[in-house]
């Protein structure tokens, strides 16, 4: 029983480490995208936003992806492009 608990604790620690690494990657990408968008001319920003939103509208999620996940992605992309953090 102790071995099982120890093994589960090790796996949990590994998952937590993977989660931290993924979060760092996402935050780094957000910083890069924000910096790129902020340095674009306003008309270029609008073209980019329109292009990304059109691509998102044209993409159809696979049936195995819950609608809530697709909506969460849309909301985050919108937030990132239209209301980037500074």
Which tens digits make up the pLDDT trace of 16-56?
999 999 999 999 998 898 888 889 999 999 999 899 988 88
Q: Does the residue 4 lie in any domain?
A: no
Q: Does the residue 36 lie in any domain?
A: yes
Q: Give me the phi and psi of 81, to 5 degrees please.
A: -85, -40
Cβ–Cβ < 8 Å for 56, 77: yes
pLDDT tens per residue across span 50-86: 999 888 888 777 777 787 888 888 888 888 888 766 5
Q: Does the residue 38 lie in any domain?
A: yes
Q: Does the residue 47 lie in any domain?
A: yes
Gap between the Cα atoms of 37 and 84, Å rounded? 8
Range of the domain at 82: 25-86
Query: What average pLDDT does the segment 4-26 reach?
Result: 92
Gap between the Cα atoms of 79 and 85, Å rounded? 9
pTM above 0.75, yes or no: no
DSSP state of 65: S
Q: Does the residue 42 lie in any domain?
A: yes
Residue 46 to residues 29, 72, 82: CA-CA distances in angstroms? 20, 22, 9
């Amino acid at each position: 029983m102790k071995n099982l608990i120890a093994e589960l604790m090790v796996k949990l620690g590994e998952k937590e480490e993977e989660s931290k690494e993924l979060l760092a990657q996402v935050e780094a990408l957000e910083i890069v995208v924000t910096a790129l968008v902020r340095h674009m001319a306003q008309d270029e920003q609008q073209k980019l936003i329109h292009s990304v939103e059109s691509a998102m509208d044209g993409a159809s999620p696979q049936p195995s992806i819950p609608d809530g996940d697709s909506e969460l992605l849309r909301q985050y992309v919108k937030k990132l492009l239209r209301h980037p953090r500074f």
